[in-house]
């Protein structure tokens, strides 16, 4: 009978860790619900993200990879640059996404060979071509952007009211019509709201159209985290929005957690041994995600702040291909590692973030507010020091600091515009970083309450993904919705 037929989803991730990693998680969840999943990937990504899912035989799940060649040279990218974090600078994002667009034809050829066609395409709104592909084959397309409902609502009210266009760069203004009084400066808004370029504007207009034509949106969040915003967003999307997160919780034990994402630069045994030797809740973990190219000078401020805070710390050192040597040189010349070796652990390259965050020794997380990292912090139940860099990270900061009240801002104002030459405005001083770290780690009443709230959210997060929890039910609802589409012959 019809309802027993296995559904087939085609998943097209953005080739950037912050998107690729949670997309793989979605695939895993779908497969656990007996949906067959095909993930579009490229040779370097398939190798790099040594996830358990890249060995489907081991996982036993109905997941397959469609590995397609990725042309780098043709688009002016360095050889092997198949993931955005490998690009020499973020100004290359444009070339990178153009290169990824060249996968369109091959994906369409693949779909041609299938009978029946896939029942659903999951892809980022930022990639326009899967929208065309979906249209061409009349397959419902579901967007996954890796954002939360709060951010979606911020974007929504800005597009709707264009209130940002009435203010200057550094002027702060209130986002209209949201449940909380959210105030930002124009320069803190994502690139799309700030660019004067016609090309960029046109591109974003197209994105909005494609977004409105999509069947629905998957959200890596859980309803209880942002009730009001989830309700509002749900309304806008006429119920075709599914909060199915936190996705990182589909990894249970350490052996699974280390396999999520890149191969880490430190052995998890060494890392856990170091953490085991620290007191409960005493360590601050500082990591600024996978693609932000933080100025080496700013990393020096961070290093000095970690040192002067006198707390044990883990610092994930990375400034991007061009700049990492500069910060390395500073560490070397200053003897920083030696000087702080009693209480500091430096991880160069990729940290096993889920393993670190879920260790009881961690007491605070200094984050750039990438949504994956932020939500992983929520899952771990630790308060955060927020140091957003660009794009919707400033929205995420507001959610953490103001709405959830589990974070302390370092007060960053500057913006490094995505896709433009790296330019930075107001810089953060080590003093400001140190203060925020101290406030988050303090033992006083406020600190205790912040920690308590963080713990409560973590409990809710875990409940959400369990059978019967809100996210679990939403995942089932998504699959049922697609199954109904199939039945209706759409
Ligand atoms: N991550 C990690 N180790 C690192 C850096 C990042 O495991 O050293 C993971 C992190 O856990 C998260 C993802 O990479 O899942 C980064 O995504 P996020 O949205 O936080 O930021 P982005 O890198 O996209 O700016």
In the reported structure, the alpha carbon of residue 376 is separated from the centroid of ligand 1 by a whole-number distance in angstroms of 9
- Residue written as token pair 């953060």: 428
Whether the predicted pLDDT of 419 surpasses 50: no
In the reported structure, the alpha carbon of residue 177 is separated from the centroid of ligand 1 by a whole-number distance in angstroms of 31
In the reported structure, the alpha carbon of residue 113 is separated from the centroid of ligand 1 by a whole-number distance in angstroms of 35
pLDDT of residue 288: 95
Q: Model confidence over 218-247: pLDDT tens digits?
A: 999 999 999 999 999 999 999 999 999 999
295 contacts 89 by C-beta, under 8 angstroms: no
Give me the mean pLDDT over the 25-51 stretch.
Answer: 90
In the reported structure, the alpha carbon of residue 453 is separated from the centroid of ligand 1 by a whole-number distance in angstroms of 23
pLDDT of residue 1: 39
- 83, 353, 418, best to mutate for ligand 1 pocket (most atoms within 8 Å of CB): 353
**According to the 3-state scheme, what is the secondary structure of the chain?**
CHHHCCCEEEEECCCCHHHHHHHHHHHHHHHHCCCEEEEEECHHHHHHCCCHHHCHHHHCCCEEEEECCCCCHHHCCCCCCCCHHHCCCHHHHHHHHHHHHCCHHHHHHHHHCCCCCCCEEEECCCCCHHHHHHHHHCCCEEEECCCCHHHHHHHHHHHHHCHHHHCCCCCEEECCCCCCCCEEEHHHCCHHHCCCCHHHHHHHHHHHHHHHHCCEEEECCCHHHHHHHHHHHHHHCCCCEEECCCHHHHCCCHHHHCCCCCCCCCCHHHHHHHHHCCCCCCEEEEECCCCCCCCHHHHHHHHHHHHHCCCCEEEEECCCCCCHHHHHHHHHHHCHHHHCCCCEEEEECCCCHHHHHCCCCEEEEEECCCHHHHHHHHHHCCCEEECCCCCCHHHHHHHHHHHCCCEEECCCCCCCCCCCCCCCCCCCCHHHHHHHHHHHHCCCHHHHHHHHHHHHHHHHHHHHHCCCCHHHHHHHHHHHHHHHHHHCCC
Task: With cut-offs at 50, 70 and 90, classify the pLDDT of residue 52.
Answer: low
Locate the ligand 1 atom nearest the alpha carbon of residue 248 and give its number. 15
Ligand 1 site, residue 287, Cβ cutoff 6 A: yes
Residue nearest to ligand 1 atom 6, measured at CA: 289
pLDDT of residue 391: 87
Task: With cut-offs at 50, 70 and 90, classify the pLDDT of residue 289.
Answer: very high
Higher pLDDT among residues 90 and 156, named by residue: 156
Higher pLDDT among residues 257 and 472, named by residue: 472
Task: With cut-offs at 50, 70 and 90, classify the pLDDT of residue 93.
Answer: confident
Ligand 1 site, residue 370, Cβ cutoff 6 A: yes
- Count the Cβ atoms, other than its own, within 10 Å of residue 152: 23
Going 53 to 56 to 61 to 65, the CA torsion angle's sign is positive
Give me the mean pLDDT over the 452-481 stretch.
Answer: 97
In the reported structure, the alpha carbon of residue 207 is separated from the centroid of ligand 1 by a whole-number distance in angstroms of 25
- Whole-prediction pTM value? 0.95
pLDDT of residue 2: 46
The token pair at 341 is 């070796």
Task: With cut-offs at 50, 70 and 90, classify the pLDDT of residue 55.
Answer: low
Ligand 1 site, residue 316, Cβ cutoff 6 A: yes
Whether the predicted pLDDT of 428 surpasses 60: yes
Task: With cut-offs at 50, 70 and 90, classify the pLDDT of residue 276.
Answer: very high
Whether the predicted pLDDT of 418 surpasses 70: no
pLDDT of residue 262: 81
Whether the predicted pLDDT of 133 surpasses 90: yes
The token pair at 419 is 């896709």
Ligand 1 site, residue 9, Cβ cutoff 6 A: no
pLDDT of residue 4: 62
283 contacts 316 by C-beta, under 8 angstroms: no
Whether the predicted pLDDT of 486 surpasses 80: yes
Ligand 1 site, residue 351, Cβ cutoff 6 A: yes
Q: Of 14-28, 114-128, 374-388, 420-434, which range is least confident?
A: 420-434
């Amino acid at each position: 009978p019809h309802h027993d037929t296995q559904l087939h989803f085609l998943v097209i991730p953005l080739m950037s860790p912050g998107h690729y990693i949670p997309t793989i998680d979605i695939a895993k969840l779908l497969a656990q619900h007996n949906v067959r999943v095909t993930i579009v990937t490229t040779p370097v990504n398939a190798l790099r993200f040594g996830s358990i899912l890249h060995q489907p035989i081991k996982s036993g799940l109905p997941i397959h990879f469609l590995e397609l060649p990725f042309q780098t040279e043709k688009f002016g990218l360095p050889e092997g640059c198949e993931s955005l974090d490998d690009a020499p600078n973020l100004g290359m994002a444009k070339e990178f996404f153009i290169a990824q667009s060249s996968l369109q034809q091959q994906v369409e050829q693949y779909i041609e060979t299938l009978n029946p066609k896939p029942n659903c395409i999951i892809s980022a709104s930022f990639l326009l071509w899967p929208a065309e592909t979906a249209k061409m084959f009349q397959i419902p397309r579901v967007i996954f952007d890796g954002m939360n409902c709060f951010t979606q609502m911020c974007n929504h009210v800005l597009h709707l009211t264009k209130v940002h266009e009435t203010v200057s760069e550094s002027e702060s203004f209130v986002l209209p019509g949201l449940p909380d009084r959210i105030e930002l400066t124009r320069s803190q808004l994502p690139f799309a709201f700030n660019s004067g370029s016609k090309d960029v504007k046109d591109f974003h207009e197209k994105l909005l159209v494609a977004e409105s034509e999509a069947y629905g949106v998957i959200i890596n969040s859980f309803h209880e985290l942002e009730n009001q915003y989830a309700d509002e967003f749900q309304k806008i999307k006429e119920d075709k929005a599914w909060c199915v997160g936190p996705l990182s919780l589909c990894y249970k034990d350490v052996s699974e957690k280390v396999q999520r994402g890149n191969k880490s630069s430190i052995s998890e045994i060494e890392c856990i041994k170091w953490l085991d030797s620290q007191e409960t809740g005493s360590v601050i973990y500082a990591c600024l995600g996978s693609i932000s190219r933080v100025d080496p000078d700013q990393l020096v401020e961070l290093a000095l702040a970690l040192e002067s805070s006198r707390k044990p710390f883990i610092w994930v050192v990375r400034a991007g291909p061009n700049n990492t040597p500069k910060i390395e040189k500073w560490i070397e010349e200053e003897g920083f590692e030696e000087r702080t070796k009693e209480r500091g652990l430096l991880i160069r390259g990729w940290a096993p973030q889920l393993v670190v965050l879920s260790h009881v020794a961690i007491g605070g997380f200094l984050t750039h507010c990438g949504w994956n990292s932020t939500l992983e912090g929520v899952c771990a139940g630790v308060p955060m020091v927020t140091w957003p860099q660009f794009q919707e990270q400033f929205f995420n900061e507001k959610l953490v600091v103001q709405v959830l009240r589990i974070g302390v801002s370092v007060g960053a104002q500057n913006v490094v515009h995505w896709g433009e030459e790296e330019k930075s405005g107001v810089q953060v001083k080590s003093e400001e970083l140190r203060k925020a770290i101290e406030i988050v780690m303090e033992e006083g009443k406020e600190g205790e309450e912040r920690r308590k709230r963080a713990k409560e959210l973590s409990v809710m997060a875990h409940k959400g993904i369990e059978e019967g929890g809100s996210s679990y039910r939403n995942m089932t609802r998504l699959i049922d919705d697609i199954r109904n589409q199939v039945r209706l012959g759409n």
